[in-house]
Amino acid sequence: MDNIYWYLEYMKVFAAYAALLYIWPGIIFHKYLRGKGFEFRFLFCSVVQIVLVNLVVLGAGLFHILNVWVVRGFFYGPLIMSAGIFLFKRKKRGYPGIGLMAENLLLGKYGWKLFFARIWDTVCKKWKKFYGNYQDQMMQYFLLAAAVLFGMAYFSNGAFQFLSYGCSDQFTHHQWILGLQEGEIFSDGIYPEAMHCFIYSMNCLFGVRLYSCILFLAGIHSLTFLLAAYCLQKEVFQCRFTPLFVLAVWLLFDGMGEKALDSLSRMTWTLPQEFGLYLVFLCPLFLIRFLREERETGQWFQNENLLLLSFGVGATIAIHFYVTILAFFACLAAVLVYFWKMRSMKRIGFLSAAVLYGVEAGIVPMLAAYDMGMEPEGSLGWGVSTFQGISESTAYTPVEKGSEIVSPGRFLREFYRNGYVNLFGERGASVIVFVSLMIIAALCLYGFLLYYKRKREPERKSLFAKGMPGGYFFLIAVSVIFVFLYAAPSAGLPQFVAINRIAGLIQIWICSMLGVAVDFLLFLAGSGVSQSVMNAGALAGFCALYCLAFRTDFHEYPYWWIGRYQAEVLVTDKIMKTFPQYSYTIVSMNGGLYQLTEGGIHEEIFTFVQNIEEKEYVLPTEYIFLCVEKMPVVYSKYFYGGPSWLARKNENACRNFDVQGRPESSREAARRSISYLEIPFDNYIDRDMRTVLNSKVYAWYQEFREIYPVETNIYYEDEEFICYMIHQNPNSQLGLTIQE
């Protein structure tokens, strides 16, 4: 039953996510989106809605009117008006929609059989029309759905394994969303808050628990990441199945080992940068489409691609500055390949205007807050130190500042060694570089031969499809640039982003680059093969890839920074469902605080330990629950498992909960004196400190039970965790200090 509850919570978060990000803008902007395909609707909603939600929430906060009713009024008001106008127009035209049929049923014009018969007829007509329009692409959509669902299962699995947050940063982001609930934006300082505004809006509009949103959103949002990667690859590849093969290879094969495991693990946690990574694909997609097109418009915003690019740029700034940096370098690759497509100052002006307006849309709320006296958030300083090369997350020895200028030959050697070799090993690096050079040489040679033959035979058509060489060169350029970002400090250049966060992106760019050869072969083969044969071959190829990965080199399961046992999560949830709201206090580590924000009162265990040593200490609620780890959790990486068809179990997973050598709570440990740290979380990271804290609560309860045997009880216990319960009269609280 516990699993069913959390699966239902996952579905609630998914429904709220889809409704806010895609359904709401699809309805409100239906006139603009009319006649557009599914892909354009996806692209439009993915960038426009993020900027819109960010502006609404932060704008209301700047005017000190942010509350749940303002958010509901903004989103539900236009939705109700739009739906009313839509139904009125349909009724006026006499269109036999569901609403009109329901009205005829209530008026007695229809019977139940006719009512359901007409509904069935309407559904059949819609399906027939849809199938007729997309019949040739059904296999493509089927394989895409399979890849996306597989990816969502992979990135969501960890949340169900532990049911607690995967890293300490999620506590901070939860706290900032709580600030939005209180009407306070930038509660810890100015910081891009688009993700926080989005989750806050999901909570306001649909009542989904914040804890569930932050726990599950990362796995759900991987859907948008995978679809964005697919859309970009679909633009640059010629065969429609090549992007699907690239996604499959990236999801199945572990080409980078531990280097990619860090970034893949971060994608399972709801964090701002990972929330915005899909824009690293969409921004260059919009730019490439603009540079490729020939038509001119009167204003920049009349160009659909520039409009979406502008919103995409705004979304990157509103979500996380690292996303902006990564999107910039991805767009730089597109500019390097298509710069000759600029053609006129007008196009350059339009592009500049789109980017500047996008920057303005994303940064204005933060600039306004700064102008009102707010200070930047502290982690922005960490980002600056990373940019300056002071970050501790380095995988190589950077060139010291002040040293002599690196020669081009040494630069290339260092770039190859600290980039490709460090990421892929000696053999993998040599293969990747060789394939890249061979693709470039083949494209140049093939282009020269075609040019020579077309001079002799002008009527001869090129075997290149429109845009094929440019797309291929873009994939090569972007893969080289992202490897360069990884290895930049080796040449004494700034570390533009923390390198442990981009390995997953590098891997997908490398997979795309290696897919160029496959795409060209499939493109040539597809010209003389029927569609049914191509569909069957694509399905067989996918099955072969999966079987090969299953037998050889599946991705490993990522890891979780676990701060408490799953039993504690389940016990806390049971208490919240069983006891009246705010009638109880749960004493536990700070991870329990965020699970309780919408139902109970929380007391930090280190605060409890400090207070029971004072002269007077009471907790005013009727019930008090003490969560004690009999075998304290060692705060470190915990590699989770799962079904064998989804991923490969990490070799370290078997040692996660090895009882040998782990500390135990005891009376002896309780006698040790400790110096408390100011930040609660810091008291729980240290193994010895955590053991002493749990031991002191354990020893205190043994003495307290002897004094109050009737009021005390064990609510839950297993080999590693125990929950004590104290039932007191709320009008006559028990003194929790034991006098010696």
Which DSSP category does 402 fall into?
A: T
pLDDT tops 60 at residue 360: yes
Q: How far is the first Cα of the chain from the last one, in angstroms, to the nearest whole number?
A: 45
**Which of residues 103 and 255 earns the better pLDDT score?**
255
Token output for 49: 């809605």
Q: What are phi and psi of 673, to 5 degrees?
A: -95, 145
**Share above pLDDT 70 across residues of the chain, in percent, rounded to a whole number:** 86
Q: What is the pLDDT of residue 388?
A: 54
Greater model confidence, 385 or 241: 241
Q: Taking 70 as the threshold, does the pLDDT of residue 397 lie above it?
A: no
- Phi and psi at residue 158, to the nearest 5°: -60, -35
pLDDT band at 333 (very low <50, low <70, confident <90, very high): very high
Residue 452 CB neighbours (<10 A): 10
Q: Is 625 helix (H, G, I), strand (E, B) or coil?
A: strand
The predicted structure's pLDDT at residue 108: 63
Instruction: Identify which of 254-258, 423-427, 576-580 has the greatest average pLDDT.
Output: 576-580
549: tokens are: 């990965």
Cβ count within 10 A of residue 619:
20
Number of Cβ within 10 Å of residue 376's Cβ equals 15
Say if residues 249 and 151 touch (Cβ distance below 8 Å): no
Q: Among the residues of 459-602, which ranges form H helices?
A: 468-487, 503-526, 531-551, 566-578, 591-595
Average pLDDT over residues 675-681: 77
Say if residue 253's pLDDT is above 50. Answer: yes
* pLDDT (average), residues 601-629: 90
Q: CA quadruple 222, 223, 226, 228: dihedral positive or negative?
A: negative
- What is the average pLDDT across 468-497? 86
**What DSSP designation does 343 have?**
-
Residue found under tokens 């990972």? 274
The rounded radius of gyration (Å) of the Cα atoms in the chain is 29
656: phi then psi, degrees, rounded to nearest 5: -60, -50
Q: Rounded to whole angstroms, how far apart are CA atoms 313 and 286? A: 10
pLDDT in tens, 515-565: 998 888 887 776 667 788 888 988 999 999 999 999 887 888 999 988 889
Query: Who wins on pLDDT, 462 or 430?
Result: 430
Among the ranges given (397-406, 597-606, 611-620, 722-731), the one the predictor scored with the smallest mean pLDDT: 397-406
Judge whether 691 and 669 are in contact, CB under 8 Å: yes
584 phi and psi angles, rounded to 5 deg: -140, 155
Closest CA relative to residue 64, chosen from 281, 322, 368: 368
Structure tokens at 170: 């999620």
Token pair, residue 108, equals: 């007695």
Q: Among 48, 499, 495, 47, which residue's Cα sits nearest to residue 278?
A: 47
- Domain limits, the chain: 278-376, 562-630+665-727
How is residue 349 written in tokens?
Answer: 């002006």
Strand order in the sheet with 721-727: 601-604, 584-588, 623-629, 721-727, 712-717
pLDDT at 520: 82
Number of H-type helices and E-type strands within the chain: 30, 7
Average pLDDT over residues 242-260: 88
Position 621 pLDDT exceeds 50: yes
pLDDT of residue 195: 97
Question: Of 39-53, 111-125, 467-481, which one has max mean pLDDT?
Answer: 39-53
Three-point CA angle 578, 580, 585, nearest 5°: 90
Whether residue 229 has pLDDT greater than 90? yes
Residue-wise pLDDT for 700-734, tens only, equals 999 999 999 999 999 999 989 999 999 998 888 88
| Contact present, 50 and 319 (Cβ < 8 Å) | yes
Question: Percent of the chain beyond pLDDT 90?
Answer: 49
CA distance 244 to 234: 9
pLDDT in tens, 418-455: 888 888 888 888 988 888 888 888 878 777 776 666 65
Q: What per-residue confidence (pLDDT) applies to 298?
A: 84
> Average model confidence (pLDDT) for the chain?
85
List 554's β-bridge partners, or say none.
253
User: CA-CA distance, 314 to 309, in Å (whole number)?
Assistant: 9
> Which pLDDT does position 524 carry in this prediction?
75
* CA angle (625 as vertex; 619, 630 as ends), nearest 5: 130
Q: How far apart are CA 501 and CA 260, in angstroms?
A: 9
DSSP state of 711: T
**Interatomic CA distance for residues 209 and 9, integer angstroms:** 8
654-667: average pLDDT? 68
Average pLDDT value for residue range 107-120:
64
Query: Helix 138-162 to helix 2-18 angle, to the nearest 10 degrees?
Result: 130
Instruction: Flag the least confident range among 17-31, 395-409, 571-585.
Output: 395-409
Burial class of 8 by CB neighbour count within 10 A (0 to 12, 13 to 18, 19+): exposed
Question: Among candidates 304, 267, 264, which has minimal Cα distance to 285?
Answer: 304
pLDDT band at residue 68, thresholds of 50, 70 and 90? very high
* Contact between 487 and 414 (Cβ < 8 Å): yes
CB 372 within 8 A of CB 62: yes
Mean pLDDT over 240-266 rounds to 89
**Which comes out higher in pLDDT, residue 331 or 126?**
331
The tokens for 694 are: 């749990």
Better-predicted residue by pLDDT, 475 or 138? 475
Distance CA 89, CA 78 (A): 16
Predicted pLDDT of residue 463: 52
pLDDT tens digit string along 274-300? 999 999 999 999 999 999 887 888 889
Banded pLDDT at 381 (limits 50, 70, 90): low
Place of tokens 């002799």: 456
Measured between alpha carbons, how far is 261 from 256 in angstroms, rounded to an integer? Answer: 8
CA angle, residues 165, 265, 648, in degrees to nearest 5: 115
DSSP string, 595-615: HSTTT-EEEEHHHHHHHTTSS
Across 207-216, 381-390, 400-409, which has the greatest mean pLDDT?
Answer: 207-216
Residue 311's pLDDT band (boundaries 50, 70, 90)?
very high
Cβ atoms of 140 and 241 closer than 8 Å: yes
